[in-house]
Amino acid sequence: MNLENHPCFNPGACKSFGRVHLPVAPRCNIQCNFCNRKFDCVNETRPGVTSTILKPFQAMNYLEEVFKQKRDIAVVGIAGPGDPFANPDQTLATLSLVREKYPEMILCLSTNGLNIFPYLDEIKRLKVSHVTITVNAVDPEIGEKVYSWVRTGKRSVGPRKGAEILLEKQLEAVQGLKERGIIVKINTIILPGINDHHAEAIAKKMAGLKADLHNCIAYYPSQGSNLADLEEPSKKMIQAIRKKTGAHLPQMLHCARCRADAVGKLGEKEDTDLMGNMIAQAMIKEDEPKKEAPEPVVEKPRLAAVATREGVLVNQHLGEATHLNIYDLGLDVPVMVDKRSLPEPGGRNIRWMQVAEIIKDCGVLLVSGIGQAPKTILTRGGVRVLEVNGLITEVLTHIKNKTSISHLKVRERTDCGATCQGSGMGCM
């Protein structure tokens, strides 16, 4: 394990070595006023953004695909899209699997620091060598303008009290990490008019705790966040801030504002098709350690999605569908309540992952036909897929009442070896 090969902590390594972030941590324990994790564009690069969430075993499948495609990966990190220690079980399970299979790999984490302290000894045991903690204020009066709430235990507290608790935990975390010999980088999001004048105080405080590196990141407006209308800081402002903070801590000057599913070298254009297909392939694989995920049994789904041409029959292959009709089965009679557009054809497995997201609140999908890849991805997403023919109301009534639909299921195509252009459904 050569710690000099970490591209974020060593600018000399960023042109030769890459990193991969495993998006296994969806939940967050604070709400920053500048963050909206629900908004995801494949063309944007910023923390909190990912195209999917992976389970630990899926992350290992994905990592295997990454190493096949990219030979320059030196670092495996977890940076959200929430906070690693709002999801400690998933985070530590993933790190354990990576350390066991790839003992020479550099492991790193990026966290807000609120809940990392109880896991410091485990982090040390797993040889996590680099940890980034995002510190946006060392004065609660400023911190209350940065955060909406902070969750401690099972309760959430407001901005002022939350900022006080968060700062206390962050100081404790930095000190504990350094006592264990772990390299610490401090990230600070520069918010004009809120903490831009305060960055030097942050650097001075963190230097007193022996932090190793400081990264002043220009705020990037996030659609839907509380600070969406805040103006992005100018390059001149960032340069001036880095000059002041650099008097206390070495500055990172090559940050790429990485996504939670970033892969490759810093600054390298994200290959979203490659990323999406690698992730989809990882999700399809059936090698979860010690137990297989069974197909979910949906006893009485509240919502059902239907592929239909005219709105009367289940008569459309999923690959041909431009939309799905959504029915509510919680009423006395199934009623159509929504019509959802589907992504344009193309993109292979990425499209099916998007479809899974669109109907994630549905318990069942009715189609007249479907390929194996989309069926596997949708099933993994918790949707029961049924290939049937017939009246929509009849099929849904049987599902609602838990009566047999075997007579409505699509017959399996056969090949009799004839040279005719038949449908494969048998000779008349």
Which of 284, 311, 326 corresponds to the end of one domain?
284
pLDDT of residue 52: 74
Q: Between 266 and 415, where is the model more confident? A: 266
| Residue 296 resides in a domain | no
| Residue 81 resides in a domain | yes
260 and 335: one domain? no
276 and 307: one domain? no
| Residue 426 resides in a domain | no
Q: Per-residue pLDDT tens for 54-112?
A: 888 888 888 888 888 887 888 898 988 889 999 999 999 999 999 999 999 989 999 99
Give the domain CATH number at 237. Answer: 3.20.20.70
Give the domain CATH number at 404. Answer: 3.30.420.130
User: Is 60 exceeded by the pLDDT of residue 345?
Assistant: yes
276 and 386: one domain? no
75 and 192: one domain? yes
152 and 18: one domain? yes
Domain region containing 237: 3-284
**Count of domains in the chain?**
2
| Residue 221 resides in a domain | yes
315 and 237: one domain? no
Which stretches of 165-230 are assigned E, i.e. beta strand? 183-190, 213-218
Which of 223, 256, 284 corresponds to the end of one domain?
284
Which of 222, 255, 284 corresponds to the end of one domain?
284
Q: Per-residue pLDDT tens for 206-236?
A: 999 999 999 998 888 877 788 888 888 899 9
Q: Per-residue pLDDT tens for 126-146?
A: 999 989 999 999 999 999 999
What's the CA gap between 103 and 101, in Å, rounded? 6
| Residue 297 resides in a domain | no
334 and 363: one domain? yes
Residue 128 token pair? 């996590």
316 and 264: one domain? no
User: Could you tell me what percentage of the chain is helix, strand and coil, using 3-state DSSP and rounding each to the nearest 5?
Assistant: 35, 20, 45
What's the CA gap between 116 and 422, in Å, rounded? 63
342-345: Cβ within 8 A, 24+ apart: 345/319
| Residue 298 resides in a domain | no
Are the C-beta atoms of 340 and 326 separated by less than 8 Å? yes
209 and 325: one domain? no
